[in-house]
């Protein structure tokens, strides 16, 4: 430990715990007055008290905020930050929870050590160092919580965005929405092929109406999917090709080979039904304009 003299922080914290807590809570109430809707006074008070308690006992054993003695405090702060992420606090508001302790604590140190400026400077520095490290820790945990949310949402999105639907007996449709990248193509391909096995479908329609752009890479991914389905014995039709996309495909020199393409899903379904030997007839004279 770099500190030669033991700090008087835990002693001061212990003797004035209640006062510091009261001052701190008052300060937080002022800072967070507009955040009352997110967290109750009772919860804030309880969190503040247990943090102060933890700070005191940890500072009594060790002054390295990364050391094992501080594990309890770090865990507590981790919990607080995670719950604040969910409650909708911003990162600076979360970190301010720790930083706002400085003012009441320094005021107390000032009063206690007024006679000894050297000790005062020393203790102030120690307290600043500890609180800064802990405040940064809350920000880190906050960030990690956010990242976990993002990763989870990405996975959800990946699963949600690749449904395979059975349009007719033996006809599957795969409406693709969003950009196709390698990992998504993999998921799309796997779910389509599995569905082909499960339903024994002979035709699969890949609808790319919702795919914003088709470049050489996306086209290659599509062709791979078509080739894999063909290997399993199912034919693929690509539908939903918008005029701009048709132009892009030709300008890029992408060769779609002998894959059947249709401009709309309805056309593709007609072809698929034809191939399967279905005939769709209308029994009543139609009212709809044709």
Binding residues for other proteins, rule: CB under 8 A, are 189-190, 193-194, 196-197, 200, 202, 224, 227-235, 257-258, 260
Q: Which of 257/285 has CB closer to other proteins?
A: 257
Minimum distance from residue 231 beta carbon to other proteins (Å): 4
Whole-number minimum distance, CB 222 to other proteins, in Å? 12
Nearer to other proteins, 67 or 233 (CB): 233
Burial call 197-230: b when 16+ CB within 10 Å, e when fewer: eebebbbbbbbbeebeebeeebbebbbebbebbe
Nearest CB to other proteins, comparing residues 52 and 229: 229
Nearer to other proteins, 190 or 255 (CB): 190
Nearer to other proteins, 52 or 201 (CB): 201
Comparing C-alpha atoms, which of 203, 52, 15, 188 is closest to residue 130?
52
User: If you search the block for the tokens 């109750």, which residue do you land on?
Assistant: 40
CB of 280 vs other proteins, minimal distance in Å: 20
Compute the least distance from the CB of residue 160 to other proteins, in Å: 21
Torsion of CA 195, 196, 201, 206, to 10 degrees: 80
Within 10 Å of residue 21's Cβ, how many Cβ atoms?
19
Query: Smaller CB distance to other proteins: residue 38 or 276?
Result: 276
Closest CA to 195 of 203, 276, 156: 203
CB of 70 to other proteins, least distance (A): 49
- Distance CA(189)–CA(229), nearest Å, equals 8
Residue 156 CB, shortest distance to other proteins, in Å, is 23
* Residue with Cβ nearer other proteins (95 or 196): 196
**Closest residue by Cα to residue 184 from 207, 209, 205, 163:** 163
The radius of gyration computed from the CA coordinates of the chain, to the nearest angstrom, equals 32
> What minimum distance in Å lies between the beta carbon of 260 and other proteins?
7
Rounded Cα distance between 211 and 238, Å, is: 12
What is the per-residue DSSP string for 165-204? EEEETTEEEEEEES---HHHHHHHHHHHHHHHHHHT-SEE
How far from the centroid of its chain's Cα atoms is residue 245's Cα?
32
């Amino acid at each position: 430990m770099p500190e030669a003299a033991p700090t008087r922080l835990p002693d001061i914290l212990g003797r004035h715990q209640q006062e510091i807590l009261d001052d701190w809570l008052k300060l937080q109430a002022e800072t967070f007055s507009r955040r009352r809707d997110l967290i109750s006074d009772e919860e804030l008070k309880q969190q503040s008290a247990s943090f102060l308690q933890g700070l005191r006992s940890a500072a009594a054993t060790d002054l390295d905020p990364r050391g094992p003695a501080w594990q309890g405090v770090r865990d507590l702060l981790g919990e607080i930050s995670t719950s604040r992420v969910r409650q909708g606090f911003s990162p600076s508001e979360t970190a301010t929870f720790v930083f706002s302790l400085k003012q009441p604590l320094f005021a107390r140190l000032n009063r206690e050590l007024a006679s000894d400026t050297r000790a005062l400077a020393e203790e102030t520095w120690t307290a600043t160092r500890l609180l800064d490290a802990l405040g940064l820790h809350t920000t880190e945990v906050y960030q990690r919580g956010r990242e976990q949310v993002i990763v989870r949402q990405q996975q959800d999105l990946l699963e949600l965005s690749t449904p395979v639907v059975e349009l007719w007996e033996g006809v599957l449709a795969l409406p693709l929405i969003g950009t196709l990248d390698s990992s998504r193509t993999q998921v799309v391909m796997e779910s389509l092929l599995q569905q082909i096995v499960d339903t024994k479908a002979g035709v699969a329609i890949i609808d790319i109406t919702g795919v914003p752009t088709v470049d050489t890479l996306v086209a290659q991914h599509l062709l791979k999917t078509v080739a894999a389905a063909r290997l399993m014995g199912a034919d693929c039709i690509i539908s939903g090709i918008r005029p701009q996309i048709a132009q892009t495909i030709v300008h890029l020199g992408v060769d779609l080979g002998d894959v059947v393409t249709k401009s709309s899903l309805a056309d593709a379904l007609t072809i698929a039904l034809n191939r399967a030997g279905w005939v769709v007839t209308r029994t009543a004279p139609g009212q709809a304009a044709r």
